[in-house]
Structure 1
Amino acid sequence: MPRFAANLSFLFKEYPLLERFAEAKACGFTAVEVLFPYDEPASEVAQRMADLGLDMVLINVPPPNYTGGQRGFAAVPELEERFRRDFKRALRYAQFLGAQHMHIMAGKAKGEAAHETYTRNLAWAAKEAPELSLTIEPINGQDMPGYFLDDFDLAVEVLDAVNAPNLGLQFDAYHAQIITGDALAAWTRYAPYVRHIQIAGAPERHEPVQGLIDYPEFFRRVDESGYTGWISAEYMPKARTKDGLDWFNDFRAR
C-alpha cells in the first residue's frame, strides 16, 4: 500500500507555510515535503514537525526559492562555485530538519559543458553528503523550458556516470507522462533507479484522479516493484485542498 506525503509547496496554500503542517496532519498525512523552506527558520519548521509527529521527506537545492531566481545551478558551467556554496547551506538545513532526500536542481543549460558540469557537481555533492539521499528529477520542457535535465534516459546516463550509492532518481509521474507519453511504461523502465516518487494528474497537474495517468494501476505497479518509500502529492488543487482529497481518503479507508 502506498505511503503518501503532502507537498506543502503545492497543497494547503490557503494557509501560510507554517500553518500548513497542522492542516496536513489533520487531513491524515504523516509526512511532508517543502520544496524551498528556507524563508522560515529551520528551528521553527523542525519544532512544528516535532509537535505534530511529521517526517520531512524532501527539500530542494538551491535556496532560497523560485522567486526572481534561477531554478538550480548544478548544470550551469559558470555557476559551479555558487552551486557548491548553496549546496552546503541547503545541506545544513536538510540535516537540521532530518530530511530524507534532497533534490538537486540542474538549472537551465545545454551542451557538453553543461553535461560535464552537472556530472562533476553531482559527484562532488554525493561525496559531500554521504549519509543523505540525493535525487535528480527530469522536468518537462513545457513547464520549464531550457531545463537541462528534461529526459529520463539522460538522467540514467548521468546516474550511471556518477555511480554514487546515495544518488538516485526522483520519479514525478506527471513529468514522466508529459516527457514520455506513458508514465506507467516509464515507471517499469526506470523503477530500479527510483528513490522518491511524486504524483499529479496529467496534463493539467491537478488531483491524481482524472486524466492520462491510471493511478490505481500505477500504485499497483509501484507496490509490485517493492518500492517502500514515500509518494508525495505534488499537484495544484482545483479548489481548496481539503475538498480534493477523496483520492487520499479512499486509500486511507483501505
Structure 2
Amino acid sequence: MDASSKLLVGNWKMYGLRAALSEIDIIKGACPTLPADVAVAIAVPFTLLAAAAELTAGSGILIGAQDCHAATEGAYTGDVSAEQIADSGACFTIVGHSERRAGHGETSLEVAAKLAAAQRAGLLPILCVGETRQEREAGSTLDVIGEQLAESLPKDVDVERLVIAYEPVWCIGASTVPSAGDIQAVQRFIRAQLVDWFGQRGAFVKLLYGGSANADNAGWICALDDVDGLLFARASLTAQSFLATARAASAL
C-alpha cells in the first residue's frame, strides 16, 4: 500500500456467508481497472477470513478482521486472538469500533490493549474514534475524540503501523454525513494531536472517514485535507457498490 494512496476499507460487519465470497472475487477481477492511487481492503466476519485471504492472495486486496482479543491465547470462549487472525492470512484488524464500544461496553483502555495485540501479531490496526449525536450537540466533539485517542493508543504504539478512522456515531447507518467543514475540523484535530505526540511520524498516519460513506459522497470527502480514505459498511457489501465507491473516491 503506497503512502499516497487512498485506502478504501469495507466493513462487512455481521453480514456474509461463503456465497458472498463471489463479491470479493468480482472486486479482485476489477482491481486492475481501479485508479492506481486506490488501495482496497475488506474486513470480513471471522468465518470468512481464511477463505477470503486465500481468494485474494497476490491480488493486492487487504483482508482483515473487525475485532481481536488482547490476549495471545487462553480460556476466552468465543474470542479470537490477533495471532489467530494473522494465522488465517489476514493482515489487519479494526479495533474500537463504536458498535463494540457501545454494544460490548469496551473502554478505550481495552481498545488500547487490543491495538497493542494487533501490532504484536504483525497486523495493521485500524483504530476507530467518534462522537455520539448528544456529544456533538453539546459541543464536545473534539474533547471526546481527544480523550478516545489518548486512551486508545498504547504507550509503545508503533505509529508507523497505524490507521485511524473517524466515524461520527450518529452518521453510521444514516443517510447523512457531517459537512465538509465538520469532517475537516476533526481530521485536522486528529492530525495535530498525532504530530504533537509523535512528531513528524504522526504526519504520515493514514486518517480515514467513516459513517454513511458511499459512491455519492466519496469524491468530495476524499478530496478534503487529511482524509486519506474511507471506512464504509453498507456500500461495501456488493462488488458493484464497493467498486463505485472506490472509483468515486479517486475522482477528484
CA separation of 1:217 and 1:32: change in aligned 2, threshold 3 A: closer
Return the match for 1:97 from 89, 98, 102: 89
CA separation of 1:45 and 1:175: change in aligned 2, threshold 3 A: same
Query: Which residue of 2 is the match for residue 68 of structure 1?
Result: none
1:109-145, Cα deviation, whole Å (9 max, x unpaired)? 38xxx565555x348626743x333342124446xxx
What is the TM-score with the length of structure 1 in the denominator?
A: 0.58
Cα contact 2:165–2:208 (8 A) shared by 1: yes
Q: Secondary structure at the match of 1:32?
A: strand
Query: What is the number of residues matched between the two proteins?
Result: 208
CA separation of 1:177 and 1:91: change in aligned 2, threshold 3 A: same
Q: For 1:132 and 1:239, locate their aligned partners in 2 and report how far apart those are by CA, in whole Å.
A: 23
5+ residue gaps, structure 1: 63-72, 75-79, 143-149
**Paired residue type of 2:6:** R
Q: For 2:236 and 2:48, locate their aligned partners in 1 and report how far apart those are by CA, in whole Å.
A: 27
1:154 aligns with 2:147: yes
Root mean square deviation of aligned Cα: 4.6
Return the match for 1:31 from 31, 40, 44: 40
CA separation of 1:16 and 1:172: change in aligned 2, threshold 3 A: farther
Q: For 2:188 and 2:120, locate their aligned partners in 1 and report how far apart those are by CA, in whole Å.
A: 31
| Map 1:164-243 → 2, pairs under 5 A | 164-165=157-158, 168=162, 170-172=164-166, 175=169, 182-191=182-191, 192=194, 195-200=205-210, 205-210=212-217, 214-218=220-224, 221-222=225-226, 231-232=229-230, 234-237=232-235, 242=240
Q: Percent identity?
A: 9
Q: Secondary structure at the match of 1:86?
A: coil
Query: Which residue of 1 is the match for residue 105 of structure 2?
Result: 109
CA separation of 1:132 and 1:122: change in aligned 2, threshold 3 A: same
**Paired residue type of 2:124:** S
CA separation of 1:115 and 1:171: change in aligned 2, threshold 3 A: closer
